[in-house]
């Protein structure tokens, strides 16, 4: 489920300019943290917040895909493992 959400997010980032390149870097950081839990490693809430926040603030075309990604139950479980700061951020940014 997370992989499909990340693919949709990647597909929403268009272009080859500097902004798109930074967006892809932020996506890789976010992907790394969201998949860490699969390896038994606690996801880093600061990295998730920074990467997803950057995408929301600087890549508006990705907002819908980000909202859908963070609405996934599997991502909710990852955010719970990341800690209270991550859960609070999701509630503040997405109202969930």
Domain extent at residue 17 = 2-94
Residues near 54 by Cβ (< 8 Å), separated by ≥ 6?
22, 23, 26
Q: What is the pLDDT of residues 5-59, one digit of tens each?
A: 999 999 999 889 999 999 999 999 999 999 987 788 999 999 999 999 999 999 9
Domains contained in the chain, number: 1
pLDDT at 57: 97
Compute the distance between CA of residue 62 and CA of residue 60 in angstroms, rounded to an integer: 5
> What percent of the residues of the chain are helix, what percent strand, and what percent coil, each to the nearest 5?
85, 0, 15
User: Does the pLDDT value for residue 96 go beyond 80?
Assistant: no
pLDDT at 24: 97
More confident residue, 8 or 95: 8
Quickly count helices (H) and strands (E) in the chain: 6, 0
CB–CB of 47/29 below 8 Å? Answer: yes
Model pTM score: 0.92
CB–CB of 52/70 below 8 Å? Answer: yes
pLDDT at 14: 87
């Amino acid at each position: 489920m997370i992989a499909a959400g990340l693919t949709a997010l990647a597909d929403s980032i268009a272009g080859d300019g500097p902004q798109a390149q930074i967006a892809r870097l932020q996506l890789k950081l976010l992907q790394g943290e969201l998949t860490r839990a699969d390896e038994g490693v606690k996801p880093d809430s600061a990295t998730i917040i920074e990467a997803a926040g950057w995408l929301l603030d600087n890549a508006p075309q990705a907002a819908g895909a980000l909202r859908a990604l963070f609405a996934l139950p599997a991502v909710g479980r990852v955010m719970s493992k990341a800690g209270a700061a991550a859960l609070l951020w999701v509630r503040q940014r997405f109202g969930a």
